[in-house]
Amino acid sequence: MPTNRTKENEIAIPAASAPVRRKSSTPHTKHALKTPPVSAPEADNVDEVAASQATYTPTDSEIAALAYTYWAGRGCQGGSPEEDWLRAEKELRAKASA
């Protein structure tokens, strides 16, 4: 079987001797997550579940967006970022509980 050499120090491998890549007979699934079955809450935990569902915690991005509007409303000057953050967080929680 002849091989071609392009340079004196470089060796070319014939295509017939290259390893064959085999295909798998089973399909692969990426990132398959198994979730446990959801069951109804027990009678003892009903109040606890209701309380946890009633408590809304706004995300950091929601708080940041509202705090930014407070800062922009002041003409992008003055004030405290911490005060804006706390005010936005308080307002979002009040809206959720209403």
pLDDT in tens, 36-79: 565 655 555 656 655 555 677 899 999 999 999 999 999 999 89
Distance CA 35, CA 55 (A): 24
- pTM of the full predicted structure? 0.45
pLDDT exceeds 90 at position 96: no
- Segments making up each domain of the chain, as ranges: 57-98
| pLDDT tens per residue, range 4-38 | 555 566 666 565 655 666 666 655 555 555 655 65
CA distance 75 to 62: 21
